[in-house]
Structure 1
Amino acid sequence: MRLQGKVVVVSGSCMGIGKAIAQRCVAEGARVVIHGLEAELGEEVVNQLKKNKAALHIEDIAAPGAPEKLVSVALQNFGRLDAIVNNAAIVVPSNIHTTDLDFFRRILEVNTLAPFALIQAALPYLIQAKGCVLNIGSVNAWCGEPDLLAYSVSKGALMTLTRNLGDTLQRDNGVRVNQINPGWVLTEKEISRKQEQGFAADWYKDISDMFAPAGRILQPSEIAAAAVYWLSDESGPISGQVVDLEQYPLIGRNPPKSLFPTKPK
Structure 2
Amino acid sequence: MADKVALITGAARGIGLATAKTLLAEGWLVALLDRDADELPKAMADLGQAASGFVYDVSDPDAVNAALPDVLNRFGRLDALVNNAGVADFGPIAETDFARWRRVMETNLDGVFLMSQAAIPALKETKGTLVNIASISGLRASTLRVAYGTSKAAVIQLTKQQAAELGEFGIRANCVCPGPVRTKLAMAVHTQDIIDAYHDAIPLNRYGSEQEIAEVIAFLCSDKASYVTGQVIASDGGFESTGVGLPALRN
Q: What pairs up with 1:50-129 in 2 under 5 angstroms?
A: 50=48, 52-129=49-126
Structure 1 position 212, deviation (Å)? 4.2
1:237 aligns with 2:227: yes
CA RMSD across the alignment: 2.1
Structure 1 counterpart SS, 2:61: coil
Q: Is the counterpart of residue 207 in structure 1 residue 204 in structure 2?
A: no
1:152-191 matches, cutoff 5 A: 152-171=149-168, 173-191=169-187
Deviation (angstroms), 1:252: 5.9
The answer to whether the 8 Å contact 2:143/2:245 transfers is no
Deviation at 1:59, TM superposition (A): 2.8
Structure 1 residues 90-120: Cα deviation after superposition (integer angstroms, max 9, x where no partner): 1011221011122212211110111111011
Structure 2 counterpart SS, 1:97: helix
Q: In 1, distance between residues paired with 2:182 and 2:207?
A: 6
Distance 1:72 1:192, change over 3 A: farther
8 Å contact from structure 1 (residues 60, 66) kept in 2: yes
Per-residue CA distance 1:137-161 (angstroms, 9 max, x = gap): 1011023320111000000000000
CA distance in structure 2 between the partners assigned to 1:36 and 1:204 by the alignment: 33
Are residues 1:134 and 2:131 paired? yes
Identity of aligned residues (%): 29
- Give the alignment's TM-score, normalised by structure 1: 0.87
Indicate whether 1:224 and 2:214 are aligned: yes
Report which of the two has the higher share of helix.
2
Q: Deviations over 1:11-70 (max 9, x none)?
A: 0010000000011010111111112233232112222111x2111112322123222232
- Could you tell me which runs of 5 or more consecutive residues in structure 1 were left unpaired when the two chains were aligned: none
Q: Which runs of 5+ in 2 are unaligned?
A: none
- The letter of the residue matching 1:14 is A
| Change beyond 3 A, Cα 1:102–1:190 | same
TM-score (norm 2): 0.92
